[in-house]
Structure formats: structure tokens, C-alpha cells
Structure 1
Amino acid sequence: MTKTALERYHARMQRVLDYIDQHLDSELGLTTLSGVAAFSKHHFHRQFTATFGLSVHRYVQLARMKRASYRLAFRSSTSIIEVAMDAGYEAPEAFARAFRQRFGQLPSAFRKSPDWEPWLAAFGPLTNARTMLMTTSYCADDVTILDMPATPVAVMEHRGDPTRIGETIRRFIAWRKAVGLSPKLSATYNVFHSDPRTTPPADFHLDLCAATDRAIAPNEQGVEAGLIPAGRCAVLRVIGSSDDLEPAALYLYRDWLPASGEEARDFPLYCQRVSFFPDVPEHEVVTDLFLPLR
């Protein structure tokens, strides 16, 4: 197969993954998905499995379960019954059995206190499948240099194992709700003080931030006032899953920065979470990555 033919083949498979993301509430059988890919329905399931290492049915199940688990953990206003129905289960009991089998917890227990280690392990096949075709290549035209204003923020630190960041996110969401700092009203930022790939888990440090110029009242959650300083930044927009921003960061540091003639400023890499999964389909998530420059 020539490179061009292979690219066309992968593009057809990419359409399938995007369609699944966009239509998790719909019927996603072989007939529908093979039509999206314009492949024979008699061979599509074998082609999909050969390409991604798991069946269409399992991929769809995992994608629905990932959205369901995010809603349970981070969207408390959505009832467990609604989550079950949206995941394709007609009865909450069937959803509870399937959820417990996959994650080792009932949905109600996961909502109260998620066990993140088996959760991460369960989605390994889904993550691997998505990264086969969804790895984005960046170029210099994707990077914009902007003068960013100083941004006062409320900061909750996460220190320790990055696999437990979900616990800190849940606490930060609860604090934001309590003080009325909805993401619709207050921009969301993360400041990356360390790289999880090169930092021992115990030393990992990330700041969760919400833009606000309000005074931060003393609180049990440890939220404090902070500032993202003004200055020039190289900005790279990442569209798609924000679970792993390392490829985008690597492009900025390894490729763009040396070729640009710019120098990095003494402030960490940070990002703005413009839109969030599961509020939008995962392939439509938008994250802006900022590299501070002198």
C-alpha cells in the first residue's frame, strides 16, 4: 500500500472514531459504522480490530464508559440513572454490574470516592487505539505569539502522584461551585510545574486555577490567590483529547523554540482549558498551551 493510499485508509478509520465520539447516544452497529468508513460491512469488523487491536463493540463500550465515568466523577448534577441511560443501558442494574466488572466499584461508590488506579488501567486499550490515528503533527504556522495580560487566579495545588489528579480536580470543582466560579464565568488554567514523565510521582506539582480578581477567603480546601504573570507567550491550540498534552509540549520545546530564535521566560508552561470532555465530544475538546517567552 502506498503512503497516499495508507493515509486515505487511516482517514476513513479516523472518520469512524470521530463519528463514534459524536454519536455515543445513537445506535453504533456495524452497518452504520462501516457506512461511515465506506467499507464493506462484511469485513469492517475485522479491519477495525486489525487496525486498533480491539473490536468495534468493545471500543464503543469503552468510549461510553469513559464518558459515563467522567459524568459520575465530575458532573454531580447528572443522576446515575441518566448516566446509565446515556451509556446505552436500559436498566441501572445492568449498568451497575457492567461498571463494577470493569472498574471494581459500583457507580454510586465511584461517584463518592473514585478508585483511579483500576480506572486508568481499564482505559488503556481505548487510549492506545485512539493514539494510533489521533496523534497530531504540528508546524510553525500552528503557533501564535501573543502578549498575554496578567491574570489573577484562585489556585489549588496538586502535589504527589499524577494518577490521583482526579481527586484534586473533584475538590476544585466542589470549591468553585461553592463560591460561584463556574467555568462559564471564570477561565480554567493549569500550570505545569513539573513533567510527570521525568518527575518522581511524590514530587509532581500541578496548579489548578480559576481566573478571578475576587479576594479568596480562607478555606479548608487550601485554595489561595495567585497570578499568571503578563508577558509574551507562544500559543499552540490542541484540539482533541486533553489527557496527554506531552506531544504538543514536546513540539514547542524541541522543534518550535530552537527554530524560532526565542527564549523561554522564567515561568512554567501552562494551559487554558477552553472546553471540556464530557461537555463536548472528546475529539472536539479545545486546550490552548502557553509557553512563556522573554
Structure 2
Amino acid sequence: MKQETLDKKIKISNDLMFYFYKYIDTDINIDELADHFKINKFYMHKIFKEVFGRNIYESIKSIRLQKASNLLLTNKYSTISEIANECGYSSQTSFIRAFKERFSMTPNSWRKGGYKQYSHKILLQSPTAKASTANFELIQPQIVKIPQQTGYYIRHRGYGYDQSKLTWQKIQTWVYQNELKDYKEMSLFHDNPTITPLDECHYVACVIPNDENEVKDQRLPKFNISGGVYAKFDLEGKRGDLLKFIHWVYHEWLPKSDYQTTTKPPYAIYHKNHYLNEDQEFSISFYLSIRL
């Protein structure tokens, strides 16, 4: 397959995936989507499955349920019906049925504590997170307002260290090719890795140039990172600590705070990237979208 054709397939599939994440609270019409992207509907289905190994309908359902499972924990003032609507379900009955099929419990049982056992099993999938002794109780976030940002990215499925390191090396190669001097490195967490099996999570490695005019090579796809109000946590640690930290943010800090989260994905800005350093240590600012 020609590289140009492969690049085009990957770009279309990534654009579709970002569309699903961004508009997951709406009724996504596949025919209208094909028209929007000016592509044959059947070809659209074909290349999406080639790239992601899962069909479009399965992906949309998975994203809806991931978002819902997250909001059930963090948005304590929202009813189950409101959360179902926010995740694109027009019927509470169909939402409960789909949720029970995925998580083997009702949304109400999940909210009342069933998530803890499920989440603990996810954390145990990472030996480094399991071994982490980091404690985050003294960390206090700043509340900040962030403008929309534009980034160039590579996405892969799964949270394996070797795979993520390879992705970041490719990002680094692209940075060198463009001779970028002023940029930020970001990991975007579309999927909450504390309630989504790690091999199912989509990992997004991203570079945000300070001056887009410096970008000469448009090979990497680009997207907009939503602006808004975020809780900003500054954190240093070693490989394994980050997953445990995300677990703490969602299951300890957020439920005890007066905030709710939104469907906007959290992200980490790297000041030191553990995937690009031999000591596997990191320094980050972690941003969690919040609202009252």
C-alpha cells in the first residue's frame, strides 16, 4: 500500500474517532457523518475497522459507556437519566441494559460502590502501578482557565510502556524534522484508564507548537484540544505513579471536592517525559476539566 493512501486512511479514521469523542452526547448519524467527511459510507466503515480493529458502532457504544461510567462517579448531583442523556442515550432503559451488559452491574450499583472492585482489577493490570508507593494526599490543584490549543498527534490502542515509548520516539523524530524549538508535549486521556481495561484505552501522544508557522511537515494529523476551566495538578514521579495518580484524582479527590467533571478529556503536559528519559521519571501538569 502506498504511504500516501495509508496516511489518508489513518487521518480519516482518527478524525472520525475524535468526532465520536467530541459529539458523544448527540445522536450520531452515520449517513450524515459520511456526507460530512465526503466519503462513501461503506468505505468509511471498512477503513475505520482496518485502522482500529473495531467497527464504528462498537466504538461509539464503548465510548458512551466509558463516559457514563466516569460521570456516574464524578457527577454526584446528576441523575442516572441526566447522565444517560449526556452520553447520547435517548432512553434510560436502553442505557441501563447496555451498562449492565458491559460492567455486569446496574448504573446504580456502580455508583454505590461497585466501581471500586472493578477499578481495582484495572489497576492490577499494571505491575508498575501496583508496585507504586506514591502518596498524593498533600497535592492541591490550582483552578485555571485554558484557551483552546492545536496539537499534532499519534494515537495507538493500549497503555503498554514499550508501545507508548515507540510512539513518543516517532513524535520526537517529527519534532526534529520540523526543527521545532518551542513546543509542549502532551498525553491526552480520552479513556479513563482506571475504569477502562488498559488494552482498550486509546493513548494519544501530542505536540503543541507555540508557533504553527514553524510546522513544515503536515504528515501528522492535528486536532483542537478544548479550552475551559480545569483543575491543574503538578506532579513528579516514576513510571507507574501516573496511573495510580489518575486513580486517586477520580476516586478520592473529585468525589470529596465540590466539583463535577465534564466529557472533555483530561490531559498531561510533560515538563519531563518518562517515555523519553532512561530514568523513567516524569514531571507533569495534569489538567482535569471541572464545573460546579
Match in the other structure for 1:156: none
With the length of structure 1 as denominator, give the TM-score of the two structures.
Answer: 0.51
With the length of structure 2 as denominator, give the TM-score of the two structures.
Answer: 0.51
Distance 1:129 1:269 in 2: 20
Aligned pairs for 1:111-122 within 5 A: 111-113=111-113, 114=115, 115-117=117-119, 120=122
How far the C-alpha of 1:163 sits from its partner, in A, is 5.2
Q: Does 1:189 align with 2:233?
A: yes
Match in the other structure for 1:270: 283
Q: Does 1:128 align with 2:157?
A: yes
Q: Helix, strand or coil: the match of 1:274?
A: strand
Aligned pairs for 1:1-294 within 5 A: 1-113=1-113, 114=115, 115-117=117-119, 120=122, 128=157, 137-138=171-172, 139=175, 141=180, 187-196=231-240, 242=267, 248-251=273-276, 253=277, 269-276=282-289
Match in the other structure for 2:215: none
Distance 1:106 1:24 in 2: 21
8 A Cα contact 1:193 1:205, kept in partner: no
Q: Helix, strand or coil: the match of 1:269?
A: strand
How far the C-alpha of 1:129 sits from its partner, in A, is 8.2
Q: Helix, strand or coil: the match of 2:235?
A: strand
User: What amino acid is the match of 2:93?
Assistant: E
User: What amino acid is the match of 1:128?
Assistant: R
Distance 1:97 1:70 in 2: 17
> Does the C-alpha gap of structure 1 residues 47 and 111 become closer, same or farther in structure 2, counting only changes over 3 Å?
same
User: What amino acid is the match of 1:89?
Assistant: Y
Distance 2:247 2:119 in 1: 21
> Does the C-alpha gap of structure 1 residues 7 and 92 become closer, same or farther in structure 2, counting only changes over 3 Å?
same
How far the C-alpha of 1:52 sits from its partner, in A, is 1.2
Distance 1:272 1:97 in 2: 38
Provide Cα deviations, 1:28-49, integer angstroms capped at 9, x if missing partner: 2321232344321133222222
Question: Number of matched residues?
Answer: 191
User: What amino acid is the match of 1:274?
Assistant: Y
How far the C-alpha of 1:58 sits from its partner, in A, is 0.8
User: What amino acid is the match of 1:35?
Assistant: D
User: What amino acid is the match of 1:250?
Assistant: Y
How far the C-alpha of 1:271 sits from its partner, in A, is 2.1
Provide Cα deviations, 1:245-278, integer angstroms capped at 9, x if missing partner: 8x95313x25xxxxxxxxx9xxx633222343x8
Distance 1:58 1:86 in 2: 18
8 A Cα contact 1:187 1:272, kept in partner: no
User: What amino acid is the match of 1:194?
Assistant: K
Provide Cα deviations, 1:102-130, integer angstroms capped at 9, x if missing partner: 01121112112113349859xxxx98289
8 A Cα contact 1:104 1:118, kept in partner: no
**Residue ranges of structure 1 left out of the alignment (5+ in a row):** 146-161, 165-182, 210-220, 222-238, 255-263, 280-294
8 A Cα contact 1:15 1:36, kept in partner: no
> Does the C-alpha gap of structure 1 residues 142 and 208 become closer, same or farther in structure 2, counting only changes over 3 Å?
farther
Bigger Rg, structure 1 or 2: 1
Q: Helix, strand or coil: the match of 2:24?
A: coil
8 A Cα contact 1:99 1:106, kept in partner: yes
> Does the C-alpha gap of structure 1 residues 12 and 43 become closer, same or farther in structure 2, counting only changes over 3 Å?
closer
Q: Helix, strand or coil: the match of 2:238?
A: coil
Provide Cα deviations, 1:148-182, integer angstroms capped at 9, x if missing partner: xxxxxxxxxxxxxx959xxxxxxxxxxxxxxxxxx
8 A Cα contact 1:191 1:207, kept in partner: no
Q: Helix, strand or coil: the match of 1:95?
A: helix
8 A Cα contact 2:31 2:41, kept in partner: yes
CA RMSD of aligned residues (A): 4.5
Q: Helix, strand or coil: the match of 1:249?
A: coil
Q: Helix, strand or coil: the match of 2:27?
A: coil
> Does the C-alpha gap of structure 1 residues 19 and 248 become closer, same or farther in structure 2, counting only changes over 3 Å?
farther
